[in-house]
Amino acid sequence: MTKKPLKVVVVGNGMVGHHFTEALAHSNAVVTITVIGGETRPAYDRVHLSEVFAGKEPGELALTSREAYQAMGVKAHFGDPVSRIDREQQEVITAGGQCFAYDKLVLATGSYPFVPPIPGGDQKGCLTYRTIDDLGEIKAAAANARTGVVVGGGLLGLECANALLNLGLETHVVEFAPGLMGVQLDDGGGRMLRRKIEALGVHVHTSKATQQIVAGSEHAMAMEFADESRLETDMIVFSAGIRPYDQLAAQAGLELGERGGIVIDYNCRTSDSNILAIGECALFGGRIFGLVAPGYRMAEAAVSQFTAEKLAFQGADMSTKLKLMGVDVGSIGDAHGREPGSIAWVFSDEREEIYKRLVVNAAGDKLLGAVLVGDCSEYDSLLQYFLNGIDLPADPASLILPNVEGAPQLGAAALPASATICSCHNVSKGDIAGAFDVGCCSLGDIKGATKASTGCGGCAALLKTCVDAEMLDRGMSVNTSICEHFPYTRQELYHLIRVGDIRDFDSLLEAHGSGLGCDICKPTAASILASCWNDYILKEQHTGLQDTNDRYLANMQKNGTYSIVPRIAGGEITPAKLIVLGEVARDYDLYTKVTGGQRIDLFGARGEDLPAIWERLIASGFETGHAYAKSLRTVKSCVGSTWCRFGVSDSVAMAITIENRYKGLRSPHKLKSAVSGCTRECAEAQSKDFGVIATENGWNLYVCGNGGMKPRHADLFATDLTDTQLIQTIDRFLMFYIRTADRLQRTSVWLDNLEGGLDYLKAVILEDSLSIGAELEAEMEAVVASYQCEWRTTVEDGEKSGRFAHFVNSEQGDSNIVFVSERDQPRPATAAERDGDKTDILATG
């Protein structure tokens, strides 16, 4: 006998409602599922909402689609919220008047931002932050604002403040309580966090009770506080806590908590056994769980009501780790030390702005809670001590003290199989081992099979450690292949190409690889081939290997146009050449900017115009600047002894010599250099891959410095070198780096990973301990001798230039490329400007 399917209706299609729907649809339960979502779009990733301010498209947040639901056999109805539940008839009625009958009803209505009842708090310019639609309103308001205030200094409020900061506003945070993130942090942690975000330019006002919002004099509004102070602003975003959407349940007479929330039991059942509630609208054990992982656990418990398996929701851990405005913040368990008899250790470093607190039980052997601000490197370990009740070391303080010799590191081996590795997807260490048992054999497989690390991503490092350990245990080699097509590291590929005299990708693939290659191995091989043989990179057999930037010999911009950066060696340029750059930019309507590398970038050129533009530049004596390539970029200089009263050597001449010598040299990552004329170091040579500083007796060479994401001060490598010694040392250094570095590894990271470190590098390069000095120099000489300006070759070769046209079958340009004017120069139109009818559009295709 076949069972009649149960009619399940899910109200709310947020993160938890979606998780439930997907899991139920994929289970063996005999059900028909109808989803009713109040928002116009299917479920999306609210946790990463703020990334839209950093450039992500709202569409990228989608967790599902109408088509995906259709394919699962789920009926979905969006943009029409449920307005009433009829428990007698077992049906729900939407605002639009539609009626859906249910056998089981699941409420997943989530929560909404609480707006304190402040007179004037409902005027235009007062907003909240929870949905994609809210994002649009915040962006629109910010476009006409100079100043923005976030009311609420909790987790979401600070995230919102970061968004306002990103939108270019003078940003204020107004908090009622005396500290920031009072739920997760203790006083000390809150103070350190405040210090750090104030340093980023956010104005923080604590212990402020807003009394009313009136018209301002300088700005649209003025907030008046209980202490009689005022703050003027153009917009306000309220983020003063969340409230469960429980109105439907209230009207239907379901039991609610005193301060709201739909009361549920272990099975997620409400006071009506045909109605379940999950996610942020549900109250369990007197608590609302305002995080996504507990919501997912509730969804799974609710699904088990429909299947043979019975899971109970047992409450959930609320520990969090996040990056707020680039500041690491972590909070575990009883962060405030409320447990009677608990003991705490605090470490505070005001110079490095790091604060850590450890809360331990009276017996001193179990972790109860922790606060980390400014450095979360211990978070994963501490969380495992906490969650798994692992015995603490005899001196628990060693867990948070910096650089303690022999501080116990909680490796993967110390964790029990039950240890949760990914809390978003509830994956334990045992689950990972299980996935290996059924055939997974890499980190990628594990992610695919268990979903671990595909939620908030916070567990990525721990997951990798566990996977690596598991592989070692099983005697599997940890995979260091660059991709699925070549079972080799970049170093090994380099040797295979050099020793096997391999000249093109197809031969390499045939001899040592499989499949067709991909966007990882192709550009890597292209770079190695160029380092070894220095062919023209757009030769037919190399063209398809190049990253877009290399293939068009220009950097692709966000709207599909390109930028043009001619070489200006050492930053020295004649007035005549400057005028040419100006004329070209004017004639092609290019945005012009002086770069951080002492040269000039012309932006917004259409692909099809590149050959003509370069023809003009080359005719005036310019050559390519390789801004698009993983190769030498710029060698910056200071004016040096020619003009400067302190200069001891001609740093400009040396910079030009160096730049001309290594220009066009393809390497694992880009290379930058600088030459300063004296120790005042105006060229910032100590932040470069190789930097040179003049001394009374010659040149000092510094290596492996880096600006960028993780700055590293260069190390002094050799002192008082003559011109010849300097060039010889750099030749060897660069070629050794090219031979041995990983793909996309700057010299700084390379040195940090080089076994033996700086001393080993000195031995190889300065003392020739491997007897490869002459070989390295000869290899460099070959590259230097075969230099060509790629743009000259391209322009001279008319056939290739045809390939820069946007279409193969039409002279037209890309109609998607639209510019508007800002500060008297063109810039790409935003999507909104392109779609709307803006009158000041400059040009389209």
Partner 1 sequence: MKQWETICQVSDIPLNSGRAALLGKQQVAVFRISNAGIEEFYAIDNHDPFSGANVISRGIIGSLKDQLVVASPVYKQHFCLRTGACLEENVQLRTWKVRTQGDNVQVGQ
Ligand X SMILES: Cc1cc2nc3c(=O)[nH]c(=O)nc-3n(C[C@H](O)[C@H](O)[C@H](O)COP(=O)(O)OP(=O)(O)OC[C@H]3O[C@@H](n4cnc5c(N)ncnc54)[C@H](O)[C@@H]3O)c2cc1C
Applying CB under 8 A, the residues found at the interface with partner 1 are 57, 59-60, 62, 64-65, 68, 484-485, 515-519, 521-523, 540, 543-548, 551-552, 556, 558-560, 802-803, 806-810, 812, 814, 816, 831
The burial of 24, by beta-carbon neighbours within 10 Å (0-12 exposed, 13-18 middle, 19 or more buried), is given as buried
Could you tell me the smallest distance in angstroms from the CB atom of residue 50 to ligand X?
6
Helix ranges (H only) for 202-307 are 247-251, 292-304
Binding segment toward ligand FES, per CB under 6 A, in 410-418, 447-455, 723-731, 818-826: 447-455
Which does residue 555 touch among ligand FES, partner 1, ligand SRM, none (CB within 5 to 8 A, set by kind)? ligand SRM
What are the DSSP calls for 68-130, one per residue?
HHHHHT-EEEES--EEEEETTTTEEEETTS-EEE-SEEEE---EEE-----TTTTSTTEEE-S
Q: Scanning the structure block, which residue is given the tokens 């040269």? A: 599
Which does residue 423 touch among ligand FES, partner 1, ligand SRM, none (CB within 5 to 8 A, set by kind)? ligand FES
Inter-residue contact 451 to 427 (CB < 8 Å) = yes
| Residue in 634, 651, 667, 729 binding ligand SRM, rule: CB under 6 A | 634
Inter-residue contact 624 to 566 (CB < 8 Å) = yes
Could you tell me the smallest distance in angstroms from the CB atom of residue 672 to ligand SRM?
5
| Residue in 15, 23, 173, 459 binding ligand FES, rule: CB under 6 A | 459
Could you tell me the smallest distance in angstroms from the CB atom of residue 293 to ligand FES?
7
C-alpha to C-alpha distances, 186 to 180, 316, 357, 369, 732, nearest whole angstrom:
9, 21, 9, 11, 53
How are beta strands 420-422 and 555-556 bridged, if at all? unpaired
Could you tell me the smallest distance in angstroms from the CB atom of residue 57 to ligand SRM?
17
Query: How far apart are alpha carbons 498 and 531 in whole angstroms?
Result: 10
Nearer to ligand FES, 34 or 423 (CB): 423
Could you tell me the smallest distance in angstroms from the CB atom of residue 449 to ligand X?
23
Binding mask of the shown chain, residues 663 to 682, with x at each position contacting ligand SRM by CB under 6 A: -------x-x----------
Could you tell me the smallest distance in angstroms from the CB atom of residue 697 to ligand FES?
56
Nearer to partner 1, 76 or 376 (CB): 76
> What's the angle, vertex CA 10, arms to CA 7 and CA 13, rounded to 5?
150
Query: How far apart are alpha carbons 498 and 62 in whole angstroms?
Result: 46
Which does residue 633 touch among ligand SRM, ligand X, ligand FES, none (CB within 5 to 8 A, set by kind)? ligand SRM
Which does residue 599 touch among partner 1, ligand X, ligand SRM, none (CB within 5 to 8 A, set by kind)? ligand SRM
Helix ranges (H only) for 534-650 are 540-543, 548-551, 575-588, 610-619
Nearer to ligand X, 108 or 204 (CB): 108
Binding mask of the shown chain, residues 347 to 386, with x at each position contacting ligand SRM by CB under 6 A: ----------------------------------------
| Residue in 599, 661, 732, 743 binding ligand SRM, rule: CB under 6 A | 599
Helix or strand holding residue 637 (H, E): strand 632-637
Count of other CB atoms within 10 angstroms of residue 462 = 24
Amino acid code (one letter) for 589: D
**Count of all residues that appear for the chain in the document:** 845
CA atoms within 13 A on the CB side of 374: 24
Long-range contacts made by residues 176-181, C-beta under 8 angstroms, separation at least 24?
A: 176/207, 176/208, 176/209, 176/240, 177/153, 177/206, 177/207, 178/206, 178/207, 179/153, 179/206, 180/153, 180/154, 180/204, 180/206, 181/153, 181/154, 181/155, 181/329, 181/331
Nearest-CB residue for ligand X: 14
Amino acid code (one letter) for 581: L
Which does residue 455 touch among ligand SRM, ligand FES, ligand X, none (CB within 5 to 8 A, set by kind)? ligand FES
Question: In 3D, which of 440, 459, 326, 439 has the Cα closest to residue 387?
Answer: 459
Question: In 3D, which of 281, 274, 286, 321 has the Cα closest to residue 299?
Answer: 281
Could you tell me the smallest distance in angstroms from the CB atom of residue 744 to ligand SRM?
7
CA atoms within 13 A on the CB side of 769: 9
| Residue in 14, 294, 369, 597 binding ligand SRM, rule: CB under 6 A | 597
Near ligand SRM in 720-779, by CB under 6 A: 746
State yes or no: residue 647 binds ligand FES (CB under 6 A).
no
Q: E strands, 160-317, where?
A: 170-174, 203-205, 210-215, 221-225, 230-233, 235-238, 242-244, 262-263, 275-277, 282-284, 287-288
Count of other CB atoms within 10 angstroms of residue 346 = 15
3-state secondary structure of 483: strand
State yes or no: residue 458 binds ligand FES (CB under 6 A).
yes
Binding mask of the shown chain, residues 548 to 567, with x at each position contacting ligand SRM by CB under 6 A: -------x-x-----x-x--
- DSSP class of residue 4 equals P
3-state secondary structure of 157: helix
Binding mask of the shown chain, residues 416 to 445, with x at each position contacting ligand FES by CB under 6 A: ------xxx---------------------
Which does residue 816 touch among ligand FES, ligand SRM, partner 1, none (CB within 5 to 8 A, set by kind)? partner 1
25, two tokens: 């649809």
State yes or no: residue 490 binds ligand SRM (CB under 6 A).
no
Interface positions with ligand X (CB under 6 A): 11-17, 36-39, 46-47, 49-50, 81-82, 108-111, 129-130, 156, 159, 245, 248, 279-280, 290-293, 295, 322, 456
| Residue in 456, 665, 751, 776 binding ligand FES, rule: CB under 6 A | 456
Nearer to ligand FES, 35 or 456 (CB): 456
| Residue in 270, 637, 686, 706 binding ligand SRM, rule: CB under 6 A | 706
262, two tokens: 């739909």
Nearer to ligand SRM, 261 or 828 (CB): 828
Nearer to ligand SRM, 166 or 548 (CB): 548
Which does residue 49 touch among ligand X, partner 1, ligand SRM, none (CB within 5 to 8 A, set by kind)? ligand X
| Residue in 1, 308, 363, 709 binding ligand SRM, rule: CB under 6 A | 709
Which does residue 672 touch among ligand SRM, ligand FES, partner 1, none (CB within 5 to 8 A, set by kind)? ligand SRM
Which conformational region is residue 723 in: left (phi greater than 0), alpha (psi within -120 to 50 degrees), or beta? Answer: alpha
Residues making contact with ligand FES (CB under 6 A): 422-424, 452-459
Residues making contact with ligand SRM (CB under 6 A): 555, 557, 563, 565, 593, 595-597, 599, 601, 627, 633-634, 670, 672, 706-709, 746
